[in-house]
Structure 1
Amino acid sequence: MAKRSRTKARDQQTTPGEVGPRQPCPCGSGRRYKACHGDPSGPPPVFVQRPFEGLASECDLIALRELVPAASAPLTLVGSDRTVTLATLLPGAAPAYVREDGSIVLGLQVLHSFGDPSRDLAAVLLEAIEQAEAGEVGTVGLTADPGEGPRLQDLLVDGPLDITVHDSFGYWADLIGDETGAVAAAAEQADAQMTPSSRLTGVDAAYWADVSTKEHLRWPMPHPEDALLDALARLHAAGEDTLVEGGRLVGMFRAHGLLTPVWDLASGTGADALEEPAAAFAARLAEVLDDDTPLSTQERSVRSALAGRQVTIR
């Protein structure tokens, strides 16, 4: 057995500079090499690590795409007065819907993935505009890689999004109409699996969520990963990362190139109780982010522990 194991180990060795099949792909996609650019069937589409970079609401877009069940926000197009509404999710995870009045609803949470969500969203939006101009009503899809073309950053008048978080998917009926009752039925089914959520008002892109047995605060942040990890380590070592009694920083998601720290909260905390502590934490974090002194031994240990509690979701 030992001899066979040594033989297998030798077979799996790589030469210097070579990427092993189970190692992360050097393209930055987060996939293993054998499932990405090492796949003999061909590499996946070009991967954009921070697809929403440069947009004022980058962190909110990440939250709405990955974490928040039901929310919407109006969008303003460059050189157009057409009504466009961004929605976290549409019935059937449709990419977009064109209404009879020519207005458009654009969905963030979709089934397709072609490497650059910003390019994908722009392609769907352009297709929806073309469909609206032709007087066609209904769902707009994206079934193939759209290739090169404009990105969301090219089509939108940039600025903070005016986000409404909904407590039910019943808002679909107002967005896309419901002549047959099918939308209401879909909304009722989606509501059964919905996690109540709320956006804090005093800080950017922080979202409270009730997951029944406990509550969470999930807060996408725009800072470079290494700098943010250093700052969080300093705050944790100093005992300054607890927002409310019974709450603690438990880890973080990595999505679309940014980190989302996650706090566990005691059941019954609610979103309102987080407003002042979150604002105070944001101010303290900004101070610590400017600290470029080397981490202490304790802080390095904390940083290592935090880095080990990351989950990449996109």
Structure 2
Amino acid sequence: MPHPTSAGRRLHRPVLDWYAAHQRDLPWRLPQRSPWGVLVSEVMLQQTPVARVLPVWERWMSLWPSPSDLAAATPGDAVREWGRLGYPRRALRLHAAAAAIRDAHGGAVPGDEATLRTLPGVGDYTAAAVAAFAFGARATVVDTNVRRVHARAVTGDALPAPALTRAEVDLATALLPDDDTDAATWNVAVMELGALVCTARAPRCAECPVAHLCRWRLAGSPTYDGPPRRGQRWEGTDRQCRGRMVQLLRDSPGPVSGAQLRAVWEDEAQRDRCLDALVADGLVEPLEGDRFRLPG
């Protein structure tokens, strides 16, 4: 395999030029967006499509345009406004992060990765993404789309490994342009290329700006031969059961009875297990008299 840096230099200009012409018009990418808006978008976009995130992000930012605004609301308000984005614990973590930003950072989102990682619910990816996209910092941002573009274009694999590897992070770092501004744009440009063109199931190679350089395509687009990749089942899962309970609470103006919660799921053992987990996670607050509500 060619040295990643030399391969990267050949990929940089075509991908950056493609992004300049084809990037989606997303509000968290506008010049006037705040670092808080970027952080909210990155948390919402985890395992969630852009189309579902857009209306929730816009309402969220109208309600809570700053971390301090969200911190002044209750955790239950955050869960309610999270809507149907899924994985509602993200709403609780974002609320906790907002409180930490207000209390420890004067209400301003910190700009360096190390400090960002100290915020509740902010891991390596989110810290790097906010540093790069909100502050223009030189950071290595690696999501599923980035991994897929790198796997195909640079290493010649149909798909990346099922889980992120150290080698992938090292490759992504080596591929960053030397110019810090270009490096920040490169991160989002590769991400966009993976989302719109170099897709998992039906890549549109004819539209790819680096198809002539792509090692996977030049090798004849060999099929994936790595470990099996299993999709996530939804019907009948604990996630579905938990989601129904949270949705009932979200749609209710006040507390609901235990009987109302129990009515949303037939399997008693699974239902009780999921309710216990929701309480343990802080997503549901039990009250006296067999009643329940969103936290706070």
More helix by share: 2
Tell me which of the two structures has the higher relative contact order, counting C-alpha pairs closer than 8 angstroms and 6 or more residues apart: 2
The structure richer in strand per residue is 1
Is TM > 0.5 for Structure 1 vs Structure 2? Answer: no
Normalization by structure 1: what TM-score? 0.28
**TM-score calculated relative to the size of structure 2:** 0.29
